[in-house]
Structure 1
Amino acid sequence: MSARNNKANKAAARERLRQEREAQAKKDKTRRQLIVVGSTIAVLAVAGGISYGVIQSNEPDHWESVSKEKTVTAPKNSDGTNGTNVVIGKPEAKKTLELYEDARCPSCAKFEQGVGETIKKDLAAGKYKVKFVGATFIDNMDQGEGSKNALSAMGAALNVSPEAFSDFKAALYSKEFHPTESKDDFAKDSYLLKVADSVPALKGNAEFKKNVEDGTYDAWAMKMSGAFDKSGVGSTPTLKVDGKKVVVEGTDTPPSTATEFNTAMDRALKG
């Protein structure tokens, strides 16, 4: 091989090596740029996700939103501000039993199962009236919606009639339908409608069904819950006559049987 050819071959080899190095350098630069861009996108995505999550967490949920509504659709057979005055019984009855209950409350279910029929008979006899005040604090404790949703459905039943309201409330608290406190079955409209099917005035009632599914009385339920919060009552069930608690004598416990209730109410009505 001539010296000239040898030099030319070496020069060609060096040129190929230079070109290969430049090509590799471009690839490495491009790869680094892609990594930077990808990392930037990932950071922005995470930041955006966090920002979106913060925005979402700060947005009021449905119940919080309706609680702020100024115009409230109140059910028939209610009166007072926003329809939160719900009184069941004969108007001529001189005394009023104030009854504070939360739909998900197991103690309320026990009370209704033990005393509900007695109250129904007393109302029919005009012995006293019942002022119902609904609470939703168990939802706040257990992160649920059942107390609020059931209260709204009770509004839909009240819109049908006071009797439908009382019968539906009794069905909600019955052994057959009342769930354990940890189960939020009342949050489902379908479950509430199943309970309502046990009440003749509500079974197949298209208007009642629509009001439950549309949440017609959701805002009313929140106003009612607000009335409970302002009442100063701290637990359910709570019973009052003339502003005084109705309890088993010698205790601070509400009655849970018909016998206990009759004794406590006779004492309260005389007082």
Structure 2
Amino acid sequence: MSNRNSHANKQAARERLRAERERQAKKEKMARQLKVGGSVLVVLAIAGGIGFAVSNSSGGSKNSKVSNKAWKDDAEKKSYAKPANTTGDKGTTVLLGDKKAKNTLTVYEDMRCPICAQFEQSSGDTLAEHLKDGKYKVDFKIAAFLDENKQISGSGSKNALSALGAALNVSPDAFLEYKKALFSAENHPEETDDAYSDDAKLLKISDEVKALKDNKEFEKAVKDGTYDKWALAMADEFENAEKKGVTGTPAFLVNGEKVTLNSFSPEAFTAVVDAKLKK
């Protein structure tokens, strides 16, 4: 009995060591991939925070299906159109939920951000539940700073944001469901893969959303880039976030105050946010 227990304990210890080595290997691989000269895109774990750091370098990338510069130049030539269900002069405020809710959760994300995808896969449904239940309204701030990074430059963040604008024009629910699909484990590309610069990829994923499947108006808006210029304006808003201490994604503010997550689990997310809510 003693020998059997000893064998089992050793086996369990080996499994834990193997899992830890795999986790560390993945972490080191990501760090190597994201290093850019003297600046590094990193998964932030400073003071318990989790996020994807901003790099301001720019340039081309052979991975891009549509280059960053070409996409922006084309967007600037288009007429400005803002989606329904937005507010503000340029329609860059995407505030969803019960407008009478006394609490506001602000969420910063980038559609190419792998850490945002991890958050959405872990706690996205919990956030959506709280939004629906009226615990708080949510102000979505979608950035596109990954497109500007020299090593992984592209247009996927902005192009996906434009498509989200087309979904928001259909309904807030379509926006939320489409964002969830784009961030899903099955669909979200590696951070070095600018897959979302391809309209065909975005439209294929939209078929998973009932309100968008076979929706010709939505499809036309994505193909025509109807909300491309709006996407640029939305992305520019991220510059204001730095004044609030937001330097990467995902990031969260509760009633304007930045909060830090130690974990993306639904329980941890709920506990951190609830601690800052007005009663």
TM-score normalised by the shorter chain: which range applies?
0.7 to 0.9
The answer to whether structure 1 residue 235 and structure 2 residue 248 are counterparts is yes
Q: Give how far 1:121 is off.
A: 0.9
Q: Give how far 1:234 is off.
A: 1.2
Point out which structure has higher relative CO (alpha carbons under 8 A, 6+ apart): 2
Task: State the match for 2:258 in structure 1.
Answer: 245
Higher helix share: 1
Letter in 2 for 1:105: C
TM-score norm. by structure 2 comes to 0.71
The answer to whether structure 1 residue 267 and structure 2 residue 262 are counterparts is no
Higher strand share: 2
What is the SS of the residue equivalent to 2:181? helix
Q: Give how far 1:268 is off.
A: 1.4
Task: State the match for 1:104 in structure 2.
Answer: 112
Letter in 2 for 1:102: D
Deviations 1:202-230 (A, max 9, x none): 00000000000000000000000011122
Q: Give how far 1:104 is off.
A: 0.3
Whole-Å Cα distance in 1 between the matches of residues 129 and 236 of structure 2? Answer: 30
Letter in 2 for 1:238: A
Alpha-carbon contact 1:67-1:223 (below 8 Å) kept: no
The answer to whether structure 1 residue 95 and structure 2 residue 139 are counterparts is no
User: Cα RMSD (Å) of the superposition?
Assistant: 1.6
Give aligned-pair identity as a percent: 47
TM-score norm. by structure 1 comes to 0.73
Whole-Å Cα distance in 2 between the matches of residues 242 and 87 of structure 1? Answer: 13
The answer to whether structure 1 residue 84 and structure 2 residue 97 are counterparts is no
The answer to whether structure 1 residue 164 and structure 2 residue 177 are counterparts is no
Runs of 5+ consecutive residues of structure 2 not aligned to the other structure: 1-68
What is the SS of the residue equivalent to 2:275? helix
The answer to whether structure 1 residue 144 and structure 2 residue 154 are counterparts is yes
Deviations 1:35-70 (A, max 9, x none): xxxxxxxxxxxxxxxxxxxxxxxxx6341453587x
Alpha-carbon contact 1:75-1:159 (below 8 Å) kept: yes
Number of aligned residues: 206
Structure with higher Rg: it is 1
The answer to whether structure 1 residue 181 and structure 2 residue 191 are counterparts is yes
> 4+ residue stretches of structure 1 with deviation over 4 A?
none
Deviations 1:90-110 (A, max 9, x none): 122111100000000000000
Runs of 5+ consecutive residues of structure 1 not aligned to the other structure: 1-59
